[in-house]
Chains A and B, each alone.
Chain A
Amino acid sequence: AQSVTQLDSQVPVFEEAPVELRCNYSSSVSVYLFWYVQYPNQGLQLLLKYLSGSTLVKGINGFEAEFNKSQTSFHLRKPSVHISDTAEYFCAVRGAQKLVFGQGTRLTINP
């Protein structure tokens, strides 16, 4: 069975600073990896995905993530955050069967 660990429950950063949200997974089979974002009082939407190919994937709103198979990680990064990036971010892994989510990381941007 697969599992996902998001190492930080909350990450506060200043506006225009870089940010990294960490995600580690475990799975006995090849995986597909996803990051979703949930803005306040909204539904979940896909930020980016890794299915195969290049290990560096780019998503919407300037976010990117790198798949590292040896470290079983899929960390999310943005070089300069905006107030509008304030949201909950969820990492998810699809292994042999169901899609499993981490506990989420709340990103708070301070002016």
Chain B
Amino acid sequence: GAGVSQSPSNKVTEKGKDVELRCDPISGHTALYWYRQSLGQGLEFLIYFQGNSAPDKSGLPSDRFSAERTGGSVSTLTIQRTQQEDSAVYLCASSLNGDTEAFFGQGTRLTVV
């Protein structure tokens, strides 16, 4: 596609519910990143996929967070039993091979009420 696409753009959910956030990277990009940006904060690394290698999950804040990337393309970030502190903008980015610049989607704004 023309750019990184994320859906939904906004998500309001009740505390305790599970949510799934989707990312469609740029076609042909082998690297995919998820970040979290809280109000007034920087970008917190969550997870990194590179080709067929095992993902780097070192940034996932708890075992309620998980992500997968199917067929080396679309990725889904799942948050189980959401908490209010999970409220943030979740950003996805893709890169041609992990060594070049990353292109960002517009993000999903998650609000847990």
Contact = CB atoms under 8 A, between A and B. Distances in A.
Interface stretch (A17-25, A38-46, A61-69, A70-78): A38-46
Contact of B104 (A44, A98, A100): A44
A26 interface: no
A98 B101 contact: no
A46 B101 contact: yes
Interface string A74-111: 00000000000000001000100111111110000000
Interface stretch (B14-22, B35-43, B65-73): B35-43
Interface residues of B, number: 23
A45 B104 contact: yes
Contacts of A34: 101-102
Contacts, number: 50
B99 interface: yes
B10 to A, nearest CB: 13
A36 B95 CA distance: 14
Contact of A43 (B42, B95, B98, B104): B104
A44 B39 CA distance: 15
